[in-house]
Structure 1
């Protein structure tokens, strides 16, 4: 099984790609702001709601009961004022009945409110958990190229934050929105019955405000979308800074990182301030409208009472129903903002879910049988970016059970060749064939399960030594596990820890030395028993004694397997069956060590220069200098 699940190889070829460049601020300006397309979002919204239709219907029913119960108090206020408390003809016997009715209505409201929270809020949280699982699974199945173009922090924000708002679609948000409209309609009918003139006059003012609200939401929606994007970028940079804290401290760059993060936070603050300005304007407008409505009712209602067409109870009841009608409309400002946030998050989630999984290519239908190990590159060309080729017509063959070493200067294309063998990318032209089968047509799951990869930068999870080694083969036996540990010399240090193989290694294996991390990575590949083995500077972090011991284990692992080795320490590849010298995306020399050394070309130059450098490192100052003639 591949030890590189979920990507990771993308970093290996970073030196061969032209950097994307630009700061977080510059990247943010490259993508134009746009509003969520609600028409395009409707299928997603419908897909979310459809399985929970019964839940929402039950929620709507509970909300309807809750809102009708809420109308009991204003409805009974007229009877209370005009009959029970009438100065001329009081009816005190009605007071207990009114109190009992109002108290019962409040109990009904309390029960329905509790039921709504239990029913819908929990359903909303379950939906969030479900969507996070779906998005994470989908992101994990995307190509390495997608990871190359997107920051880790941005992807984390997509998985964790963007789905948060959907609770307002299935949770209480949507139901409260509908419940508010229901309350407003019922109150409006009562108000029309009481006085059509006063009600239509008031409603014209409120209708104007609703029109303004619609315009305001169009302005707020893209701001929320932009906020999520900025937040993802800032989180991404913060994630990188925390992960690279040793590099930052090593170069005394704390202040520079604080400055970069500060710029991102300032952009986020600007966005929040802009949204706060708009929402505060809406709040002020709603207060103004409320004042206008109150003044109108006082004027018209006061005249109606003075002309004896209304009683005091009518006036008081009208005001209470008017408040019940207007209040939901103003609540729509908050609920509408929540729904807008939900649509924006759903839109961003839809974008990432629309990305094609790397194994969804219609051409990838062929199941890879058990690999024998014959690998052939046939005139392969490749470019990460259009018009910027990295490989130029690479052709070579690696026969079953042989060791092929790739050497050359940094950025020459070695890691890109490895990336193509792993099928992390597909050639721009030409073919990569394994046992005569074009990798572009192979189901990746059936192919990569037969690969083993050991990188120079050994990635470890924040778990135990055992968990990290067993990652490549969770069903391995204890005997197989211990054999891999002994072969990779993991037992030498692991068994000295108090917790042995259950010792927690820390994030990215920070509690272990570089050599210990690399031994774990080698043990992980050993346990996988791969058919094709890829070693990218697999022993670079080891001392000479450890390297010699582990090399013996690797030699045992290589028997019967096709192995590809990237090595800068050329002394480690003398026994390779073939050595490919790669420069500027081309194979400039090929052969074994003896042949290439005798050739006196690029390999000879690299080998002698490296050995001269290694020897000079141990000479006293001036000891190896030439004496001028």
Structure 2
């Protein structure tokens, strides 16, 4: 599907703007056949609408004076046929355009979601998930006014107005020109209003995203809110958000109300003027009552699309504002858009090496300084140290969630910054401290990395991570529903499911970020057995606060203030009686 052009880097500091021309090229033109069919249908509907006003003159000037019932029956038949044509074309317009518009919305949502998932981890670290949900689900909805009946009605209404104008000028030039004075004033007001409204609609999308993002956080953290008796505090935050939405809506409604009231007043003036002028011409005998009725009907045909255009204009303005924000998102650079990532890994040994690697989350605030170490294939490298020392940052760099500021990380002597991420991550498994589980069953979560795994592979992972130790007690076993984020399970149970998931994935490289921190002593003992199998013949980088869990590591790196303070095996570091010795003996006393 075509969409707004994606650029690797958005170097322009201005927010991208989607014009009607851009929208026409990217959304309407690829569907030109459907749009053309919609235009044909709306023209047929418009032409059918002319039958009633044109036949009204015949009714008053010919049928009634001559008491011609045969002609009356024919006239009624013609009008009924015209009404039937209008009804059929209206139905087809909905089938052809409105449904196509909804299909396009679903396509765009899928496209934006795909784009979002391709963005780097740093983007998600700085963006609320609720705000992203709003941008994926809400911002694209306005497109229905482009491909749907909105734009077609704008074009069809213009066609109707032009045809009507020609007929009116042929009927009476002065009466027609008189109506142009108030309509011109209304046009000027409408153009200024649209220019004022568009930034308001754009801001509304941003405010909506922020409020939905906060609401998403509130619902996810309801236990924390209740634990600290903070309901009133959260209520006030949400009330401020909806107040901002109200103020924004109030501005747009005020501008729209000005247009609507202006149209009512100015069109009322035009109608009153036509009554006066038409009355004068009828008194003078220059036009018949049938001419006047026909003129009035046709005038309504010309004015109605113009008034409708103000509403359609608001809809198109809102649509373009939403597409502005969608284009802004689509123009962000994805992880795989780096030109240097050209190396495709088919199979790997798993030899990871950090060569003089430094990293900073913010410019000028380096958190890792010249890190050097090697994790040979099949080895276990343990990272220990105080909180904030840089352990998780090293793990993030190893998983390619982060990119080094300087230095080189290699996988099997290949520069990781030049490797296609998907080809590397297919060999990667991660078990985090606060592991994320999806709403659904235990079985679905374990099979997440390999949905097509066999029953034997599933059971192997379940037993290896000792998941069956607790699922055997559940009525539904592995089909037990665990609730959002696994809320119905204990921390140890969630962690064992996460490890089973990693075992089933069968990766070559494993990153364990404090994977045993949520476990009680009994669960930890079980997990240690499963981790032995998980790490067997796999390169493993493990972060652990419980130093008792890493005694058998091939190499232990003590990280302090973003540097490697010590390195060696468990026994070597104890003999050195340095920082590791202090940490280990302190924990042993607890």
Same fold (TM over 0.5): yes
* Equivalent of residue 354 in structure 1, options 305, 308, 331: 331
Please say if residues 123 and 170 of structure 1, whose CA atoms lie closer than 8 Å, have aligned partners that are also in contact: yes
* Equivalent of residue 79 in structure 1, options 58, 61, 69: 58
Partner of 1:57: 36
- 2:489 matches 1:489: no
Please say if residues 346 and 423 of structure 2, whose CA atoms lie closer than 8 Å, have aligned partners that are also in contact: yes
How many matched pairs? Answer: 578
* Equivalent of residue 216 in structure 1, options 193, 197, 202: 193
Question: 5 Å matches for 1:206-605?
Answer: 206-605=183-582
Distance 1:596 1:45, change over 3 A: farther
1:29-59 Cα deviation digits (max 9, x unpaired): xxxx9887344x6345412223311111111
Q: Give the whole-Å Cα distance in 1 for the aligned partners of 2:21 and 2:473.
A: 60
Partner of 2:151: 174
* Equivalent of residue 17 in structure 2, options 27, 30, 37: 37
Partner of 1:610: 587
Q: Give the whole-Å Cα distance in 1 for the aligned partners of 2:26 and 2:302.
A: 32
* Equivalent of residue 47 in structure 1, options 14, 22, 26: 26
Q: Give the whole-Å Cα distance in 1 for the aligned partners of 2:63 and 2:350.
A: 96
Shift in Å at residue 277 of structure 1? 1.1
Please say if residues 120 and 335 of structure 2, whose CA atoms lie closer than 8 Å, have aligned partners that are also in contact: yes
Please say if residues 169 and 176 of structure 2, whose CA atoms lie closer than 8 Å, have aligned partners that are also in contact: yes
Shift in Å at residue 280 of structure 1? 1.1
Question: 5 Å matches for 1:144-163?
Answer: 144-163=121-140
Please say if residues 182 and 267 of structure 2, whose CA atoms lie closer than 8 Å, have aligned partners that are also in contact: no
Please say if residues 169 and 342 of structure 1, whose CA atoms lie closer than 8 Å, have aligned partners that are also in contact: yes
Shift in Å at residue 98 of structure 1? 1.2
Please say if residues 205 and 293 of structure 1, whose CA atoms lie closer than 8 Å, have aligned partners that are also in contact: yes
Shift in Å at residue 204 of structure 1? 2.7
1:152-190 Cα deviation digits (max 9, x unpaired): 011101110011111111111111111111111111111
TM-score (normalizing by structure 2) = 0.96
1:302-344 Cα deviation digits (max 9, x unpaired): 1111111111111111111111100111111111111111111
Please say if residues 35 and 221 of structure 1, whose CA atoms lie closer than 8 Å, have aligned partners that are also in contact: no
- 2:161 matches 1:184: yes
- Does the residue aligned with 1:377 lie in a helix, a strand or coil? strand
- Does the residue aligned with 2:336 lie in a helix, a strand or coil? coil
- Does the residue aligned with 2:248 lie in a helix, a strand or coil? helix
CA RMSD of aligned residues (A): 1.5
Alignment gaps of 5+ in structure 1: 1-32, 615-629
1:49-96 Cα deviation digits (max 9, x unpaired): 23311111111111000010011101111111112223xx54443211
- 2:101 matches 1:121: no
Please say if residues 214 and 238 of structure 2, whose CA atoms lie closer than 8 Å, have aligned partners that are also in contact: yes
Please say if residues 403 and 576 of structure 1, whose CA atoms lie closer than 8 Å, have aligned partners that are also in contact: yes
Higher mean alpha-carbon deviation, 321-330 vs 498-507, is at 498-507
Q: Give the whole-Å Cα distance in 2 for the aligned partners of 1:536 and 1:456.
A: 5
Q: Give the whole-Å Cα distance in 1 for the aligned partners of 2:18 and 2:113.
A: 24
Shift in Å at residue 355 of structure 1? 1.2
Please say if residues 205 and 289 of structure 1, whose CA atoms lie closer than 8 Å, have aligned partners that are also in contact: yes
Partner of 1:21: none
Partner of 1:626: none
- Does the residue aligned with 1:85 lie in a helix, a strand or coil? helix
Shift in Å at residue 453 of structure 1? 0.5
Please say if residues 35 and 222 of structure 1, whose CA atoms lie closer than 8 Å, have aligned partners that are also in contact: no
1:539-598 Cα deviation digits (max 9, x unpaired): 222221221122112112212111111111111112211111112211111112222222
Distance 1:362 1:484, change over 3 A: same
Q: Give the whole-Å Cα distance in 2 for the aligned partners of 1:242 and 1:530.
A: 35
Partner of 2:110: 133
Q: Give the whole-Å Cα distance in 1 for the aligned partners of 2:291 and 2:210.
A: 58
Please say if residues 18 and 323 of structure 2, whose CA atoms lie closer than 8 Å, have aligned partners that are also in contact: no
Please say if residues 471 and 524 of structure 1, whose CA atoms lie closer than 8 Å, have aligned partners that are also in contact: yes
Shift in Å at residue 600 of structure 1? 2.4
Please say if residues 357 and 405 of structure 2, whose CA atoms lie closer than 8 Å, have aligned partners that are also in contact: yes
Q: Give the whole-Å Cα distance in 2 for the aligned partners of 1:206 and 1:353.
A: 40
Please say if residues 16 and 328 of structure 2, whose CA atoms lie closer than 8 Å, have aligned partners that are also in contact: no
Q: Structure 1 segments of 4 or more deviating over 6 A?
A: 33-36
- Does the residue aligned with 2:139 lie in a helix, a strand or coil? coil
Distance 1:344 1:34, change over 3 A: farther
